[in-house]
Amino acid sequence: MPADPTPHGATASGAGAPGAGDRSDAPGGFHSGDAPRRLAQAALRDLPWEVGVAKPDPAVVVDGVTRTFGGLTAVSVDHLEIQRGGITGLIGPNGAGKTTLFNLLTGFDQPDTGTWSFNGRSLGKMAPHEVARLGVVRTFQLTKALSRLTVLQNMLLGAQDQRGESFFRALVPGIWRGQEKANTEKAMELLHRFKLDTKKDDFAGTLSGGQRKLLEMARALMSDPHVVMLDEPMAGVNPALTQSLLGHVKDLREQGMTVIFVEHDMDVVRDISDWVVVMAAGRIIAEGPPESISQNQAVVDAYLGAHHDAPLTVEEEDQVLAQAEQAIAREEQTDGDVLSADTRPERTDR
Ligand SMILES: Nc1ncnc2c1ncn2[C@@H]1O[C@H](COP(=O)(O)OP(=O)(O)OP(=O)(O)O)[C@@H](O)[C@H]1O
Query: How far, in Å, from the CA of 97 to the mean position of ligand 1?
Result: 6
Query: How far, in Å, from the CA of 231 to the mean position of ligand 1?
Result: 13
Residue 112 CB partners (closer than 8 Å, separation 6+): 66, 67, 68
| Tens of pLDDT, residues 294-333 | 888 888 887 766 544 445 556 666 666 666 667 667 766 7
Is the ipTM higher than 0.95? The answer is yes
Q: Determine whether the shortest distance from the Cβ of 95 to ligand 1 is under 6 A.
A: yes
| Tens of pLDDT, residues 259-303 | 999 998 888 999 999 999 999 999 999 999 999 988 888 888 877
The helix or strand, by DSSP H or E, that contains position 119, with its residue range, turns out to be: none
Please choose from 67, 68, 76, 100 the residue to mutate so as to test ligand 1's pocket, defined by most ligand atoms within 8 A of CB. Answer: 100
Query: What's the gap between Cα 42 and its chain centre?
Result: 20
Report the alpha-carbon distance of residue 22 to residue 85 in Å, rounded.
Answer: 12
| Tens of pLDDT, residues 184-202 | 999 999 999 999 999 999 9
**DSSP conformation letters of 14-56:** GGGSTTTT---SSGGG--STTHHHHHHHHHHHTS---TTPPPS
Confidence band of 157 (pLDDT split at 50, 70, 90): confident
> In which residue ranges of the chain is CATH 3.40.50.300 found?
7-142+220-307
Please give the pLDDT value at position 34: 58
Q: Which CATH class is domain 7-142+220-307?
A: alpha beta
pTM of the model: 0.75
Please give the pLDDT value at position 336: 61
| Tens of pLDDT, residues 206-250 | 998 889 999 999 999 998 999 999 998 888 788 888 888 999 999
